[in-house]
Amino acid sequence: MRTFTAYVEYDPETNLYMGIVHGIPGAHTQAANLDELHRNLKEVLELCLEEYRREQL
């Protein structure tokens, strides 16, 4: 199991939270609340890492 750090920012104009995991291309998403953002980040990170593993084969 690995640990990643996500940077989270709130945009008051759109009322959305935005999250990004630096160093992982494509690992960014947005959501209406922090719980949803956490789920979205986990999903997109899993997809990015899966794609990276496929490219390494």
Long-range contacts of 8-14 (CB under 8 A, 24+ apart): 8/34, 8/37
Structural domain spans, the chain: 7-56
CA atoms of 4 and 38, how far apart (whole Å) = 12
The predicted pLDDT at position 57 comes to 83
The predicted pLDDT at position 28 comes to 98
- pLDDT tens by residue, 1-57: 889 999 999 999 999 999 999 999 999 999 999 999 999 999 999 999 999 999 998
The predicted pLDDT at position 15 comes to 98
Residue 30 is which amino acid?
Answer: Q
